Every structure is written in structure tokens, then in C-alpha cells.
Amino acid sequence: MTLADEARRVAAEFEYSKDDVNKAVKEFIREMDEGLTKDGTELSQIPTYVTAVPNGTEKGLYMAVDLGGTNFRVCSIQLHGNTTFSLTQSKVAIPKELMVAKTAKELFAFLAKQIEKFLQTHHAEHYQGFVRRRKTISNDEGFREEEVFNLGFTFSFPVNQIGINKGLLMRWTKGFDINDAIGKDVCALLQDEIDALHLPVRVAALVNDTVGTLMARSYTSPGKKGTLLGAIFGTGTNGAYVEKLSKVTKLAASSSAADASTTNTTGNMIVNTEWGSFDNTLKVLPNTPYDAALDADSNNPGIQMFEKRVSGMFLGEILRRALVALLNNPAVPLFADDTSAANELHSTTNVDESSPLFTRWGLDSSFLSTAHGDASLGLRMTRQALDRDLAVSAASEEDAAAVKLIAAAIGRRAARLAAVAIAAVVLNTGALDAAAAAAATGPPTTTTTTTTTTTTTSQEEEAGDEIDVGVDGSLVEFYPGFEEYIREAFREIDGIGAAGERRIRIGIAKDGSGVGAALIALVAGQVAGGEEGE
């Protein structure tokens, strides 16, 4: 048995056929519909209280913070009102111990502290003036409403949203696990810590990163009907899309929903699918031994099963487990000098016993991007990465080829699963039909403005029959060929096919969640301004 044969065998375990993809799309559509009717379903289908996407004319200075899976970002955003914006931001890695802190307060106090630092650094005048007045003005509040920054809080975890700036944490995902926060209003948790530091900041809107991405993409690429879907393929994966309010029947049951429908003039509601938990019961998802072991060892077994096969936090771990399985099989000559062809370093291939290969989460998903995209002579880049990142010294070209093949299979499977989610949203919203109808009647008159400056996207044709999808996250940005694999799967999907695939436009909304949160804070700020004391 050669190493190449073994690598091919393992790679084949990650195949996800055309038939599998089509079955999964059907199940995804079923779960989407089910999630709109009641709570407690696999796809949570959370109404976000955001009812419209922007058109690029919005203006003003806003703040946004973004608690993602890995980093915390604080930004201020000047929306220029012509589809462009300027953004100032700072980013810190979230300390691992805070991700699993005993109390929510520990995490949120840290976040508020970062906001304070940001204001001191980037908005010193505003901040100092405010603090000065606070000290001299005797009223309780100590500030004037107009001095307060409206802040959009991007919180990239499942939240049962009960108002534009109110939402109860349903469960943690990705690496977070702070039991004390479950069921609490995350906006209030943040506002309390902001108030403790006397900062001129009001948490005006709670936003999932996917919703932010959808908003940002719609702001920066105007001149068409608006974006249908915002999706993240990063540390985690999820999507939010524009749904008809009338289909969100579970809303009718709740009273806050009644408000949403009376103030809703668009007839739409942006819905956060939380598709990371698609098919937790594994009806249609693939399940290799590596997937099963990863899940069993995770801090949330049995949930986020789709995310565990698709997103950046997990792909490296799947590869690690596949490689360790090969290493543990004495019949397989992986990283074994004797059967490797001569390697030009003339030293013995060795896997150090302290290699991160032997530690859970030891292999970063960026390694997959390197291996998969490696076109260097003799796969030198992969061999260097094996040495540098995994303490595998003097790996041979055969070793690197095996690693590359398996990494590519894992990445391709992830992209095909990503295609399932996107395709299901496109098909279930009837967007392809609607786009065709729009094309037949010509572009709407509002699209005739030929705005020349867009910030994050360019060279995109102005056409009436395209469906726009905004994406963000390390995988779509850095994983070689991720979009092309998605497109390959689209062409195999019933109801999309080659013609439909061409009409789906996928564009990066880089750092979209910050801008998107600002845009929602803007709308929320306007509403709050008119409803003070509510």
C-alpha cells in the first residue's frame, strides 16, 4: 500500500456527491420553513427586527463593536452617504480564558475597557469633552443625548432577539462557554459595563455578523435590488437573508412581533438562520470517523454539526485527526523516512513528540489553505509549513502530496456544503424567479444612477437579473478556490444549474459586520430618537 493510495482513500471519505448535495438542499429548505413556524428547531431562523437593507445614501458617524469567534473589534464609521465610508478600527485577540470565564461580567468588562481605550485614542476630543462636562453637570445623566455615540453591537452567537437592542443568549458556539451568560440580555450586559466606565456610548442595536455583512454589502453595492443573503465562512459559519414577513409565522405568536409588523413598511424581515446547526441529527450531513471524534471531543457535542464540517475553526482539526489516523497505522508510510523518496535535505524525517499534531486544535485551518494552494516546486511550501507549524522535520514530497490531497478534499467538501446553504436560500426565497422577472421588465428606474465609487467591490456589472450574496470570513477570503468549488456545486443543484449559477453574484463584504452594525445603529438611533422613554 503506497502512501499515495492511502491518501486517495482518505480523500475519498470526504467526497460529497451531486446526489448528496441535492438531498441536503431539500432538507435545508425543509428546516428553513420549519424554523419560521416555531421555536426550538434545528435552524433557529431568528427574526432580527431589521426590516430593510440600506441603499448607500445613509450618512453619519457611528460606532460598532464586533465580538467574533477570535477577535474583538472596535470601530467608528463615517458613512459618507455615497456608498462609501471611512472606518477607524482597533482589534484585539480575545484572551482564551475570557472565552470560558466564570461570569459574563469578566468578558463584558473587558469589552467595555476596549471601547474606552478606543475612544481615548481615536476620539480623544469628544471623549475628554464629555468626561469634563460629566464632572460639572449636576443632572443624573450628565450628558446630552446628542453627545452619545450610537453603537451597533455585532455579537456573533445565537441570540433570541426580542427587540432591536435586546436579545437573550441562547447558547454559545465556537470556542466560547460562559454558562452564566445564557439567557441574559447581552446588550444590557455590555451597557452596564459601559456605564460603569461612564462612556458616552449607547448600545443601540444588536446585530449578528451575518446581518451586518448583508447590510454592508447592500450599502456598498447599490444600484440594484439589494442583497439577498449575507454569509460568514470564517471561524464559524452562518447566514442571514431577506424573508417575507408573512412567512415568519412564529412571529405572530409573540407580542413584540406585533410591533415589528405594525412598524414594518417593507413587508420583509431579515432572518438569522443560524445554519451552523443545520441537520444536527445528521440526516444528510456527511460523517467520517474524524467528524464524529471531533464532535465527541468538542465542548458542544451534537450541535453546530454543519459548522463543524464547514468553518475555519474545525477544518484544521478534521485534517489533524485524519493525519493522526494515518500516522497511527504502521502500515502507512506517512512521515516515515524509509519509504519516502530522497528528500533534498538529507536528514531523517521526524515528527517531534511535542508536535501540535498530537494536540487537539493543534492544526490551524490556515494550514489547509497553504497546502491546498501549494504550487511550489516539490511542494516546498507545504513541507516548510509542516516543519514550522507541526514540527515535522524533513517531510518528503510524497508526504506533502498526501497532506495536500487530504486537505483539498476537506476544503472541497466544506465548500460544497456551503453551496447547499446558499442554494437553499436562493431557491426557497424564489430569488431566481424574481430576478428573472426583474430582468424581463428591465432594471428598476432607481438603478439608473451610475455611481462610480464603491469601496469594497468593483467591476461588477449592473444587471437586473443577478442575485447578490455578500460574504466575509477567512475561508472565503483566503482558502484557494473556495468560491469556485461553491460554483461547481451550484451547477449540480436542481433548480440552479449552470444558468442559475451565472446569475448568483458573490462579493466579499470585507469587515462588513462593523459597517453593517453602524448602519443598523443608524436606523435604530432614528427610531429611539422618536421614541424616547419607551
* Residues engaged in binding ligand GLC (CB under 6 A): 68-69, 156-158, 173-174, 208-210, 232, 234, 236-238, 274, 276, 307
Residue 77 C-beta: closest distance to ligand GLC, Å = 19
Residue 1 C-beta: closest distance to ligand GLC, Å = 39
The DSSP result for 248-273, as a single string, is -HHHHTSHHHHHHHHH-SSSEEEEE-
* CB 105, CB 181: distance < 8 Å: no
Residue 44 C-beta: closest distance to ligand GLC, Å = 9
- Residue closer to ligand GLC (CB basis): 156 or 349: 156
* CB 320, CB 357: distance < 8 Å: yes
Residue 106 C-beta: closest distance to ligand GLC, Å = 21
- Residue closer to ligand GLC (CB basis): 83 or 173: 173
Cross-strand bridge partners of residue 237: 233
* CB 470, CB 509: distance < 8 Å: yes
- Residue closer to ligand GLC (CB basis): 158 or 514: 158
- Residue closer to ligand GLC (CB basis): 224 or 510: 510
Distance CA 392, CA 372 (A): 18
* CB 274, CB 236: distance < 8 Å: no
C-alpha cell at position 35: 424554523
Residue 307 C-beta: closest distance to ligand GLC, Å = 5
Cα pseudo-dihedral 11, 17, 21, 26, rounded to 10: -130
Distance CA 412, CA 425 (A): 20
Distance CA 207, CA 225 (A): 22
| Residue 340: φ, ψ to 5° | -80, 145
- Residue closer to ligand GLC (CB basis): 166 or 174: 174
DSSP E strand stretches across 402-523:
467-472, 504-508
Q: Give the nearest residue (CB) to ligand GLC.
A: 236
Residue 239 C-beta: closest distance to ligand GLC, Å = 8
For 464, counting Cβ atoms within 10 Å of its Cβ (0-12 exposed, 13-18 middle, 19+ buried), the class is middle
Residue 187 C-beta: closest distance to ligand GLC, Å = 15
* CB 151, CB 203: distance < 8 Å: yes
Distance CA 165, CA 286 (A): 37
* CB 238, CB 272: distance < 8 Å: yes
- Residue closer to ligand GLC (CB basis): 89 or 447: 89
- Residue closer to ligand GLC (CB basis): 232 or 524: 232
Residue 89 C-beta: closest distance to ligand GLC, Å = 17
- Residue closer to ligand GLC (CB basis): 238 or 365: 238
Distance CA 392, CA 335 (A): 8
**Sign of the Cα pseudo-torsion (350, 353, 357, 363, in order):** negative
- Residue closer to ligand GLC (CB basis): 14 or 157: 157
- Residue closer to ligand GLC (CB basis): 47 or 276: 276
Residue 301 C-beta: closest distance to ligand GLC, Å = 16
Distance CA 215, CA 294 (A): 34
Residue 470 C-beta: closest distance to ligand GLC, Å = 13
